[in-house]
Structure 1
Amino acid sequence: MLKLYGFAASNYFNMVKLALLEKGLAYEVVPFHGCQNPAILAVSPRGKVPALETEHGFLSETDAILDYLEETQDGPALLPDDPFSRAQVRAMAKEIELYIELPARLCYAEVIFGGRATPEALKRKAERDMIKGFSALARRAKFAPYVMGEQFTVADLYFLYSVDLAAEVAKKLFDLDVLADLPQARALLALLAENPNVQKVAAERAHDIPLFLERIKTAG
């Protein structure tokens, strides 16, 4: 059986978990918090989550894990059939990660975790990059009704677990509504929220968030 290592407060862990659920795959969750001790590094070379244990060994990095699941496992496809459309979906997922999720992540400590203030230079960079990222999303995404068309794909996994956090960062730090001109993105978030698998992941995340914040507080 596949084993998913990580914790439910992690958005990248939840991308993989939702993929497993959508494909109807059996899996076991192994509680796992990234750090640099040898036992952790034996599973994930950089001490990051998520990691996936397969019959062949461990995989890390979310996009590699999602590709592995798509190429080796049964269940509904999370990528289109033709190569060009598959590449477009992968490109959209990467754009969401690089230009929306990662800029917002610069400010997670302050906004999401209630920790130290974000240095002003990083804050300004995050604001600039997120504005550009959401502008690119508006130009590239189809929202028909899913990010890249009629099919739920890996682009929707990145969208679901990146856009809401980025929007929270933008509103709290910059008083900026990054979805103001993207009603179709709001509609997709509402549609996805009706998915029972999304609801399951959200409930487990809500349960884990206080525990995660307490771990951060204790470690700090």
Structure 2
Amino acid sequence: MIKLCGFALSNYYNKVKFVLLEHGIAFEEVLVLPSQDDAVLAHSPLGKVPYLQTEDGDLCESQCIVEYLAARFPDKAIFSADPWQAAKEREMIMFVDVHLELTVRNLYKEAFFGGSVSDATKGRVEKLLAQHIAGFGRIAKFGPYLCGERFGVADTAGYVSLPLVGMATQAIYGRDFLLEAGIDWKSYVKTVGARPAAQRVTEDRKAYIAATRSA
């Protein structure tokens, strides 16, 4: 059986988990925290999560894992059958994962974990996000899903990462950059969150947070 290794606070772990649950692919969860220990590096070259364990070996990076699942389980139709639409789904995921989430990730230390981020970093991230969010707004349809009327694989990325963009910018700059740009991510997350797979992801994340705080 496929093993998904990571922890429920990770949005990229939850992205893969959402795909697995949404498409009814059997898997086992294995709790693994990011680490530079040899035991983790033996499976994930940079010590990051998530990574997938399969009968063929280990695979890291969330989007590579999603692509593998789509190829291994073609009957699940993880991506659209139409080549153009599938390409647009991949484009959307790239915008969410790279241009939005990885940019705003530079703020997490202060926004969520009690640390501090330099003014230079804040200024650089603010300029980048202004460009990236504007670009995202040009391609995201929110009709009500990212790529249009139908839920798709891009929404597994949007659901777990767009809230982080909104919350982090609110915490650091005193304003939610997404809402300010007219992107109502809260309504979007509510719509996607009605799906059973999304509810399971959210419930498990909240349970993990509660367990961590009480430990």
TM-score (norm. length: structure 2): 0.92
Letter of the aligned partner of 1:29 in structure 2? E
Distance, in Å, in 2 between the alignment partners of 1:148 and 1:196 is: 20
Distance, in Å, in 1 between the alignment partners of 2:26 and 2:194 is: 22
Distance, in Å, in 2 between the alignment partners of 1:75 and 1:21 is: 15
- Judged with a 3 Å threshold, the aligned counterparts in structure 2 of structure 1 residues 106 and 213 are, in CA distance, closer, same or farther, namely farther
Distance, in Å, in 2 between the alignment partners of 1:16 and 1:80 is: 17
- Higher mean alpha-carbon deviation, 43-52 vs 118-127, is at 118-127
Distance, in Å, in 2 between the alignment partners of 1:10 and 1:142 is: 26
Q: How does 1:116-131 map to 2 (within 5 A)?
A: 116-131=115-130
Letter of the aligned partner of 2:26 in structure 1? A
- Structure 1 equivalent of residue 85 of structure 2: 85
1:139 aligns to 2:138 (yes or no): yes
- Structure 1 equivalent of residue 98 of structure 2: 98
- Judged with a 3 Å threshold, the aligned counterparts in structure 2 of structure 1 residues 112 and 200 are, in CA distance, closer, same or farther, namely same
1:55 aligns to 2:27 (yes or no): no
Tell me by how many angstroms 1:209 deviates. 2.4
Q: Deviations over 1:61-101 (max 9, x none)?
A: 00100001111126642311122221111111111112210
Q: How does 1:8-23 map to 2 (within 5 A)?
A: 8-23=8-23
The answer on whether the counterparts of 1:21 and 1:197 sit within 8 Å (CA) in structure 2 is yes
- Structure 2 equivalent of residue 38 of structure 1: 38
Q: Deviations over 1:156-182 (max 9, x none)?
A: 111111110110011111122222443
The answer on whether the counterparts of 1:44 and 1:59 sit within 8 Å (CA) in structure 2 is yes
The answer on whether the counterparts of 2:134 and 2:181 sit within 8 Å (CA) in structure 1 is no
Q: Deviations over 1:23-80 (max 9, x none)?
A: 1111100110111111101111110000011121111000100001111126642311
- Higher mean alpha-carbon deviation, 44-53 vs 189-198, is at 189-198
Distance, in Å, in 2 between the alignment partners of 1:14 and 1:8 is: 6
- Structure 1 equivalent of residue 153 of structure 2: 154
Distance, in Å, in 2 between the alignment partners of 1:210 and 1:130 is: 31
The answer on whether the counterparts of 2:110 and 2:172 sit within 8 Å (CA) in structure 1 is no
- Higher mean alpha-carbon deviation, 185-194 vs 74-83, is at 74-83
Unaligned residue ranges in structure 1 (runs of 5+) = 216-220
- Structure 2 equivalent of residue 198 of structure 1: 198
The 3-state SS of whatever aligns with 1:33 is: coil
- Higher mean alpha-carbon deviation, 179-188 vs 57-66, is at 179-188
- Structure 2 equivalent of residue 218 of structure 1: none
- Judged with a 3 Å threshold, the aligned counterparts in structure 2 of structure 1 residues 180 and 120 are, in CA distance, closer, same or farther, namely closer
Distance, in Å, in 1 between the alignment partners of 2:128 and 2:197 is: 31
- Judged with a 3 Å threshold, the aligned counterparts in structure 2 of structure 1 residues 75 and 8 are, in CA distance, closer, same or farther, namely farther
- Judged with a 3 Å threshold, the aligned counterparts in structure 2 of structure 1 residues 213 and 62 are, in CA distance, closer, same or farther, namely farther
Distance, in Å, in 2 between the alignment partners of 1:212 and 1:107 is: 22
1:175 aligns to 2:174 (yes or no): yes
The answer on whether the counterparts of 1:101 and 1:163 sit within 8 Å (CA) in structure 2 is yes
- Judged with a 3 Å threshold, the aligned counterparts in structure 2 of structure 1 residues 212 and 98 are, in CA distance, closer, same or farther, namely farther
Distance, in Å, in 1 between the alignment partners of 2:195 and 2:3 is: 23
The answer on whether the counterparts of 2:50 and 2:62 sit within 8 Å (CA) in structure 1 is yes
